């Protein structure tokens, strides 16, 4: 158990819909990361938040957005869903991002299926 929790575990929805994925980091971790793992693309970095502020952005679609709240939990919002958004979405957390200290601990993931 990494200490990172994600809900829900599974989500099935229809094209055009909007969903919210939730992540609670390990106790004491200030940084949260979101990754997408689809069948043909491996693990892809989406976005990072540090202490409530966006810190880095990867290949995140404009239809996707995220935020980190004062209690440090994070939500990833996916809207206008398409079939190709079906994937595993992982959240990870780390303590203080910095040189030589970037071990990220991953949650169990949310499996999103868009029908």
Partner 1 sequence: DQQVKQNSPSLSVQEGRISILNCDYTNSMFDYFLWYKKYPAEGPTFLISISSIKDKNEDGRFTVFLNKSAKHLSLHIVPSQPGDSAVYFCAASPLGAGNMLTFGGGTRLMVKP
Task: Name the site residues for partner 1 (rule: CB under 8 A).
Answer: 2, 4, 31, 33, 35, 42-45, 48, 55-56, 58, 90, 92, 94, 97-100, 102-109
Q: Nearest distance from residue 44's CB to partner 1, in Å?
A: 8
| CA pair distance 50, 92, nearest whole angstrom | 12
Please name which of 40, 33, 6, 15 lies closest in space to residue 111, comparing C-alpha atoms.
Answer: 6
Q: Nearest distance from residue 93's CB to partner 1, in Å?
A: 11
Residue 4 or 112 with smaller CB distance to partner 1: 4
Phi-psi region of 100 (alpha: psi -120 to 50; beta: other; left: phi over 0): left
């Amino acid at each position: 158990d990494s200490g990172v929790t994600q809900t829900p575990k599974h989500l099935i929805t229809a094209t055009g819909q909007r969903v919210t994925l939730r992540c609670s980091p390990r106790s004491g971790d200030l940084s949260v990361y979101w990754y997408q793992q689809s069948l043909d693309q491996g693990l892809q970095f989406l976005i990072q938040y540090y202490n409530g502020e966006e810190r880095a952005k990867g290949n995140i679609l404009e239809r996707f957005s995220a935020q980190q709240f004062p209690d440090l939990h994070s939500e990833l919002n996916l809207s206008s869903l398409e079939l190709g958004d079906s994937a595993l979405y992982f959240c990870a957390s780390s303590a203080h991002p910095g040189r030589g200290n970037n071990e990220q601990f991953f949650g169990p993931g949310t499996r999103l299926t868009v029908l």
